[in-house]
Amino acid sequence: MRHIPRKRFGQNFLVDPQVVHNILQAILPLRNDILVEIGPGLGALTKPLLDSINHLHVIEIDRDIVSCLTQKYSVEKLTVHSSDALKFNFSTLGKNVRVVGNLPYNISTPILFHLRKFSKNICDMHFMLQKEVVERMVAEPSTSSYGRLSIMLQCHFEMEQLFTVQPESFLPAPKIQSAIVRMIPLNRKMINEDEEDLFSAIVTAAFSKRRKTISNTLQDYLKPEDFDVLEINPRLRAENLSVAQFVAITNFITQ
């Protein structure tokens, strides 16, 4: 498939067959899997996936790529959803959906947040992302990479960085390293759906002034004596609090 990468879609196409092999080994697709690929691009991963499973769904916003895919593959093997992944309703694919993709760096975080809404429909996800983003996703408390993204995703998913991918594996080559991350929805959500907005607001407020203590950043939500009840040191900074502690703060406020 010949196609000129478009900057407005953040297109960097994977062209390294060894990396494709490594991704397939990580995914281990089974014949009857319900699998959807976000952003198939030039089809580096699409064809080997089609060789491994009975039917594949792909989500693609670029109409030229959509046209090429629909001409190349039969509807019995491939369903092409000509759509923006940020607006796609993943629940329409059923239960135990497996999601894979080389996510555009410019909208990777919004896509991850969008997919949280469908965690009950998803079995697992494997994504290629900017290495720095993956490091933030899997970061532990009291590390420089730990922040809002870490917390908002870790309360929904178990995540693991699998391996790094070098820039020369893409066309055009990006200026940064990439990494593969595995995301598996937690059996039990840490935060209730009706508390999600409050949880997000608390985490955002806590990290709004990263060098300030939580007694300062969370003063709109907690009184000084509340920290004693929660058994949380008010002199800590947001980066020192675990996901469970942010959940505890949210639960305390909603009691």
The tens digit of pLDDT for each residue in 225-237 reads: 999 999 999 999 9
**Top-confidence residue, 234 or 65:** 234
Domain stops at, among 130, 162, 185: 185
* Cα gap 79→221, rounded to integer Å: 47
* pLDDT value of residue 115: 96
| Residue 36: C-alpha distances to residues 24, 78, 169, 214, 235 (Å) | 14, 10, 22, 41, 45
Percent over 90 (pLDDT), the chain: 83
Residues 29 and 82 in one domain: yes
**Top-confidence residue, 4 or 109:** 109
| In a domain? residue 154 | yes
Q: How many structural domains does the chain have?
A: 2
CATH number at residue 18: 3.40.50.150
Domain stops at, among 155, 185, 215: 185
* pLDDT value of residue 13: 77
**Top-confidence residue, 2 or 145:** 145
Phi, psi of 240 (to 5 degrees): -90, -10
Mean pLDDT of the region 115-132: 95
Residues 248 and 124 in one domain: no
* pLDDT value of residue 11: 54
**Top-confidence residue, 6 or 223:** 223
Mean pLDDT of the region 245-253: 97
List pLDDT tens digits, range 7-29. Answer: 444 457 788 999 999 999 999 99
69 pLDDT higher than 80: yes
189 pLDDT higher than 90: no
Taking each continuous run of H as one helix and of E as one strand, the counts in the chain are 10, 9
List pLDDT tens digits, range 203-215. Answer: 999 999 989 999 9
Domain range for 133 is: 7-185
Token look-up 């639960």 returns 251
Residues 140 and 212 in one domain: no
* Residue 243, token pair as written in the block: 């996901």
* pLDDT value of residue 210: 87
Q: Taking the CA atoms of 55, 57, 58 and 61 in sequence, report the sign of the dihedral they define.
A: positive
* Residue 20, token pair as written in the block: 């494709």
Mean pLDDT rounded to a whole number for the chain:
93
* Cα gap 69→80, rounded to integer Å: 7
Side chain identity at residue 154, one-letter code: Q
| In a domain? residue 179 | yes
143 pLDDT higher than 90: yes
* pLDDT value of residue 176: 87
Token look-up 């093997």 returns 77
Residues 91 and 213 in one domain: no
Percent over 70 (pLDDT), the chain: 96
| In a domain? residue 2 | no
List pLDDT tens digits, range 34-63. Answer: 999 999 988 889 999 999 999 999 999 989
CATH number at residue 225: 1.10.8.100
Residues 214 and 175 in one domain: no
DSSP letters of 23-54? HHHHH---TT-EEEEE--TTSTTHHHHHHHSS
Residues 211 and 164 in one domain: no
